[in-house]
Amino acid sequence: MRLILKNIIWLTVHGFIMNPAFSQGMTAADIVMKADEKFNGEKSSYSIISMTIVRPSWQRTIDIKTWSMGRDYSLALVTAPPKEAGQSFLKRGSEMWSWIPSISRLVKLPLSMMSQGWMGSDYTNDDILRESSLVNDYLHEIAGEEIIDGRLCYKISMKARPDASIVWGRQTRWIDRKDFLVLKAELYDEDGYLVRTETASDIRIMDGRTVTTRIELVPAEEPGNKTILVIRDIKFNLPLGESFFSQQNMKRVR
């Protein structure tokens, strides 16, 4: 009995020492928060992105600039192709709008549209405008460790909180232990069915940070469909204020 108890104690202590999340006093939520801040900045971020929508018989690329400040403020501007250039999307708190310059119309987006595809892509309005919070809207658990592209990752299981009004019922994210990069994510609906898989690659240093600059999204039940995001530039913690995220600015930002 003493030998069994001794082995249990050894395995428990050894597991805590060998797992950096425990040895650093980090919870699953801490890991997700660190990964989120790594990509979005602790206070704000600005990025230039090319989004390529791939379908079995065609593909097209949309160029976008995005600004964000915390969870409550975000602004996205389409810069190409010419047909959509100038269209912008704004989020302030729980309210969201779209500016369509071709018809000079400002449209308020209802929450029911958050799960719809953005600009015909496999990404949702929620993804682009960041309505849901990976940290606050989920319950997190370390489900193990796996190697993705040669990097040892935390496997984090995320289940939507009962009171959270969000698109995904649960997620699984693989977060690199060294640089806290999200290298893979699986997103499931409320019934537990896999909806899409995302993989990130092309790791580079931008604005002093190690980040993934290529993200490929593949929907589970649409063969031949995918959306590829390539980050051309990204900057963190810019001196943005609430006044930047205004209906007036979404019409004139460039």
Q: Tell me how far apart the alpha carbons of residues 53 and 217 are, in angstroms, rounded to a whole number.
A: 10
Structure tokens belonging to residue 109? 């987006």
**Which DSSP symbol is given to 244?**
G
| Least confident span in 12-26, 82-96, 206-220, 234-248 | 12-26
Contacts for 231 with CB less than 8 Å, ≥ 6 apart: 47, 48, 49, 206, 211, 212, 213, 214
Element (H, E) at 20: helix 20-23
Please give the residue that has the higher pLDDT: either 73 or 18.
Answer: 73
> Tens digits of per-residue pLDDT, 189-224?
999 999 999 999 999 999 999 999 999 999 999 999
Please give the residue that has the higher pLDDT: either 120 or 245.
Answer: 245
Q: Tell me how far apart the alpha carbons of residues 208 and 48 are, in angstroms, rounded to a whole number.
A: 16
SS3 category, 82: coil
State the chain's mean pLDDT as an integer: 87
Q: Residue 13: pLDDT above 50? A: no
Model confidence band, residue 131 (pLDDT cutoffs 50, 70, 90)? low
Q: How many other C-beta atoms lie within 10 A of the C-beta of residue 19?
A: 16
**What's the pLDDT at 130?**
65
Q: May I ask the CATH class of domain 5-252?
A: mainly beta
Q: Residue 18: pLDDT above 80? A: no
- Percentage of residues of the chain with pLDDT beyond 70: 89
**What's the pLDDT at 112?**
72
| Least confident span in 46-60, 89-103, 196-210 | 89-103
**What's the pLDDT at 73?**
93
